[in-house]
């Protein structure tokens, strides 16, 4: 089998997605997601200007060799743009392999290690009572792992909270929006939220929370300690993670489990965090982590240190990545949980898929390959629109991590 064509489909059905389609001489094709939220066209150019010409004529079954060729062959390594581009190629090749062998991708990764993939939902509200209601709604929908984010009293808006009754969506069209941040107000409020949630929903439901890189290690230690009575499933991205040894300080003070890595793109970004057992869940996802080939190795390394996966799955990961993550999560032994932030109805229409949700678990389906398609005619009706993630400032006007 030979690759005969590779091209991009860039569309914006409610939000931007960059999708790679690789065709072969046997009529089988594969899809990969190359979306990097807010920097989409950089990955598109990396692919179409640099990687795709190198693929024509290659055997799509050679996933390991092609991965090494693209990674080592560039000389310049790592980074979200490079790794998302390699990830898109890799996932499309696994899709082709599954279709050619007439089997779902999870069978190529070890088969089903579990019956379904536990997923967590997003619940959020502008204040405490709205957030409690939103968590209760998630429970009614069947989720038993729920991420709770709430507006903080005295702050006009915060991470993870929708504006004006719409579903929460991180990127906004136009130039970057700006939001305000106060660590002190947040630290005073966050424990009240989880105290209230435990009173209202009881001890059974897994509760998760995303700090979104906003604290220093000692502040994160204070928060983790304060949240211990409410036994969170995890506290996510408590600090920006460039300083991996900073997590030693957090670990010294709290047993609240820690999840990190949605902005990582290589196992080397998490090397010390894993081997010193400073985190419990690795959040790197298939596309940004360089594809299934690289993620399988990262997960196997993490398994040796009791670190489980908790792949990023916000709406900016397309249905192609969600499908890939579900195949991966079904197969690997050290799976922890998968994020499930529902795509809009329009996005789902552009990307018809086989995966299903039932009582808190998802399954990728049994179709050959990934089990996701793209309706190119519909996609063409929604052209790319520039959009950015917000920028955050402290109360004194200085820039902080969003
Ligand atoms: C999450 C994330 C996201 C990111 C988004 C950035 O845990 O789901 O933190 O919502 O902010 O993916 O593009
Ligand atoms: Mg996050």
Q: How many CB atoms lie within 10 A of CB 49?
A: 9
Instruction: In whole angstroms, give the CA distance from residue 310 to residue 235.
Output: 12
CA 389 to ligand 1 center in whole angstroms:
10
Verify that 115 and 149 share a domain, yes or no: yes
State the DSSP code for 47. Answer: I
- Number of domains comprising the chain: 2
Classify residue 87: in a domain, yes or no. yes
Instruction: In whole angstroms, give the CA distance from residue 192 to residue 274.
Output: 31
Classify residue 328: in a domain, yes or no. yes
Q: Which ligand is nearest to the CA of 168?
A: 1
Contact 45, 30 (CB under 8 A): no
Placement of tokens 């929903």 in the chain: 201
Verify that 128 and 34 share a domain, yes or no: no
Instruction: In whole angstroms, give the CA distance from residue 332 to residue 110.
Output: 7
Instruction: In whole angstroms, give the CA distance from residue 45 to residue 138.
Output: 39
CA 121 to ligand 2 center in whole angstroms:
12
Instruction: In whole angstroms, give the CA distance from residue 268 to residue 234.
Output: 22
Which residue minimizes the CA distance to atom 8 of ligand 1?
Answer: 314
CA 205 to ligand 2 center in whole angstroms:
19
Q: Which ligand is nearest to the CA of 37?
A: 1
Verify that 302 and 160 share a domain, yes or no: yes
Residue tagged active-site, from 122, 212, 312, 340: 212
Q: Return the closest-CA partner of residue 324 out of 300, 293, 301, 281.
A: 293
CA 384 to ligand 2 center in whole angstroms:
24
CA 80 to ligand 2 center in whole angstroms:
16
Contact 224, 238 (CB under 8 A): yes
CA 59 to ligand 2 center in whole angstroms:
36
Question: pLDDT of the chain along its 402 residues, tens only?
Answer: 999 999 999 999 999 999 999 999 999 999 999 999 999 999 999 999 999 999 999 999 999 999 999 999 999 999 999 999 999 999 999 999 999 999 999 999 999 999 999 999 999 999 999 999 999 999 999 999 999 999 999 888 788 888 766 778 889 999 999 999 999 999 999 999 999 999 999 999 999 999 999 999 999 999 999 999 999 999 999 999 999 999 999 999 999 999 999 999 999 999 999 999 999 999 999 999 999 999 999 999 999 999 999 999 999 999 999 999 999 999 999 999 999 999 999 999 999 999 999 999 999 999 999 999 999 999 999 999 999 999 999 999 999 999
What 392-398 contacts at long range (C-beta under 8 Å, 24+ apart), as own/partner pairs, is 392/159, 392/178, 392/179, 392/180, 392/181, 392/214, 393/178, 393/179, 393/180, 393/181, 394/180, 394/181, 394/182, 394/183, 395/180, 395/181, 395/182
Question: Measuring from each residue's beta carbon to the nearest atom of ligand 1, which residues come in under 6 Å?
Answer: 37, 170, 210, 212, 262, 314, 316, 339, 389
Domain boundary among 104, 135, 166: 104
Residue tagged active-site, from 143, 159, 355, 361: 159
Instruction: In whole angstroms, give the CA distance from residue 315 to residue 348.
Output: 11
Between strands 281-282 and 258-260, the pairing is parallel
Verify that 298 and 312 share a domain, yes or no: yes
Verify that 249 and 262 share a domain, yes or no: yes
CATH number at residue 87: 3.30.390.10
Verify that 324 and 260 share a domain, yes or no: yes
Residue 212 known to be catalytic: yes
Q: Return the closest-CA partner of residue 332 out of 288, 298, 358, 371.
A: 298
| Complex ipTM | 0.99
Alpha helical stretches, state H, 21-79: 40-45, 63-73
Classify residue 206: in a domain, yes or no. yes
Verify that 167 and 258 share a domain, yes or no: yes
Q: Which residues contact 225 (CB under 8 A, 6 or more apart)?
A: 253, 254, 256
Which residue minimizes the CA distance to atom 12 of ligand 1?
Answer: 314
Atom of ligand 1 nearest to the CA of 313: 8
Domain boundary among 104, 125, 149: 104
Domain boundary among 104, 136, 152: 104
Which residue minimizes the CA distance to atom 13 of ligand 1?
Answer: 37
Q: What is the model's pTM?
A: 0.97
Atom of ligand 1 nearest to the CA of 171: 13
To test the pocket of ligand 1, the residue of 35, 176, 212 to mutate (highest count of ligand atoms within 8 Å of its CB) is 212
Which residue minimizes the CA distance to atom 10 of ligand 1?
Answer: 314
To test the pocket of ligand 1, the residue of 40, 258, 316 to mutate (highest count of ligand atoms within 8 Å of its CB) is 316
Classify residue 25: in a domain, yes or no. yes
Range of the domain at 46: 3-104
Beta strands in 66-171, from DSSP E residues, in sequence order: 117-125, 145-150
Placement of tokens 């050619």 in the chain: 100
CATH number at residue 270: 3.20.20.120
Residue 159 known to be catalytic: yes
């Amino acid at each position: 089998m030979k690759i005969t064509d590779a091209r991009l489909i860039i569309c914006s059905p409610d939000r931007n997605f960059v999708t790679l389609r690789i065709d072969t001489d046997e009529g089988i094709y594969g899809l990969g997601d190359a979306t990097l939220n807010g920097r989409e066209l950089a990955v598109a150019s990396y692919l179409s200007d640099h990687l795709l010409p190198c693929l024509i004529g290659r055997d799509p079954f050679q996933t390991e060799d092609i991965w090494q060729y693209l990674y080592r062959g560039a000389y310049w390594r790592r980074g979200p743009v490079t790794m998302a581009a390699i990830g898109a190629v890799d996932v499309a090749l696994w899709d082709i392999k599954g279709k050619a062998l007439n089997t779902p991708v999870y069978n190529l990764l070890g088969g089903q290690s579990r019956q379904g993939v536990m997923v967590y939902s997003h619940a959020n509200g502008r204040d405490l009572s709205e957030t409690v209601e939103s968590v209760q709604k998630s429970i009614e929908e069947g989720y038993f792992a729920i991420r709770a984010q709430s507006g903080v009293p005295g702050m006009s808006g915060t991470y993870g909270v929708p504006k004006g009754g719409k579903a929460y969506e991180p990127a906004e069209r136009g130039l970057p929006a700006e939001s305000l941040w106060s660590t002190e107000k947040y630290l005073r409020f966050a424990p009240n939220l989880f105290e209230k949630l435990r009173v209202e929903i009881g001890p059974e439901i897994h509760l998760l929370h995303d700090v979104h890189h906003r604290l220093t290690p000692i502040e994160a230690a204070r928060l983790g300690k304060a949240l211990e009575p409410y036994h969170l499933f995890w506290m996510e991205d408590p600090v920006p993670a460039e300083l991996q040894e900073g997590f030693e300080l957090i670990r010294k003070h709290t047993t609240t489990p820690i999840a990190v890595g949605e902005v990582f793109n290589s196992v080397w970004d998490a090397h010390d965090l894993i081997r010193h057992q400073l985190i419990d869940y690795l959040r790197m996802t298939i596309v940004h982590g360089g594809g299934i080939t690289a993620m399988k190795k990262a997960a196997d390394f993490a398994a040796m240190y009791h670190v489980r996966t908790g792949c990023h799955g916000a709406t900016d990961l397309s249905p192609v990545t969600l499908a890939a993550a579900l195949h991966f999560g079904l197969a690997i032994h050290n799976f922890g949980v998968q994020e499930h932030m529902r795509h809009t109805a329009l996005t789902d229409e552009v990307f018809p898929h086989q995966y299903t949700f039932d009582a808190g678990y998802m399954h990728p389906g049994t179709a050959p390959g990934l089990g996701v398609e793209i309706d190119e005619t519909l996609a063409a009706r929604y052209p790319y629109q520039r959009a950015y993630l917000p920028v955050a400032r402290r109360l004194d006007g200085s820039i902080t991590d969003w």
